[in-house]
Structure 1
Amino acid sequence: MEKKTIKVEEIKKILLESWSLESSSKWSKENPAKGQCGVTALVVNDILGGEIMKTKLPDGWHFYNFINKKRYDLTDSQFIENITYKDLLSNREEAFADTNAKQYNYLKQKVSTALFR
């Protein structure tokens, strides 16, 4: 059986279709990425590995991924202003503090199902 190569762009499209009130209480149709940074960084880390990074913003920590020495912020669309990234090394525990088990399990299942069907 051939191993499937997963591209970040593919995951980004799936995330946009998967984000909902089930993955973040801040979600809305107008701003689907709102509040999704921690849970998204965790799920992307599960699938693609790499590191979870963080940057302090006025509303708190913002989480995203570094994969193969490249920054991937799949939830940056939630912000109107540009982000000045500090690229501080974070970890799964810190990112998980931004979500909960129900939201994480929901998003991981939705993304995994779409990727591996």
Structure 2
Amino acid sequence: MDERTFQIIRRALEKSWSADTSVCFSPTAAPSYGQCAQTAIVVQEYLGGEILRTTGWHGRGNHFYNSVAGERVDFTADQFDMPGYSYALKYEDCPSSVTEALAECLPGQVDALRHAFRRSIAGAA
């Protein structure tokens, strides 16, 4: 994926992430904080490809991201660079699924992100 396309999608996601899409959302945190599973689902719906996962923060939980046309694409990686939350993420690229990613989301979070992203990306076109 070229950098321009990545940035268009990233900006649309940033406009879409909210307290409705993650219980971790905070104006003082990285916008992507706690948004990985729902973002991976919405990105797969938009771009196709696969959902991948790796062991999350300090070996607890999972971190979800995508593979599109054989290229790793992680729109939420910056959450691991937040002060006080820094973690050297090591990608394992384990195949995952919508079902597995959904298990890490609360009801309504994916739908909220999906609808907000569709509105935002339509405005970016």
TM-score between both structures, scaled by the size of structure 2: 0.83
1:48 aligns with 2:47: yes
Look up the equivalent residue of 2:44 and give its one-letter code.
N
1:100-111 → structure 2 map (5 Å cutoff): 100-111=106-117
Number of residue pairs matched?
112
TM-score between both structures, scaled by the size of structure 1: 0.89
1:1-117 → structure 2 map (5 Å cutoff): 7-31=5-29, 32-57=31-56, 58-79=59-80, 80-117=86-123
Tell me, yes or no, if the aligned pair for 2:15 and 2:120 is still in contact at 8 Å.
Answer: no
Percentage of matched positions with identical amino acids = 35
Q: Which moved more, 1:75-84 or 1:65-74?
A: 75-84
C-alpha RMSD of the superposition? 1.5
* Match of residue 3 from structure 1: none
The answer to which structure has the higher helix fraction is: 2
**Offset at 1:9?**
2.0
Runs of 5+ unmatched residues, structure 2: 81-85
Cα distance in 1, alignment partners of residues 40 and 12 from structure 2: 14
Following TM superposition, where does structure 1 have runs of at least 4 consecutive aligned residues deviating by more than 4 angstroms? none
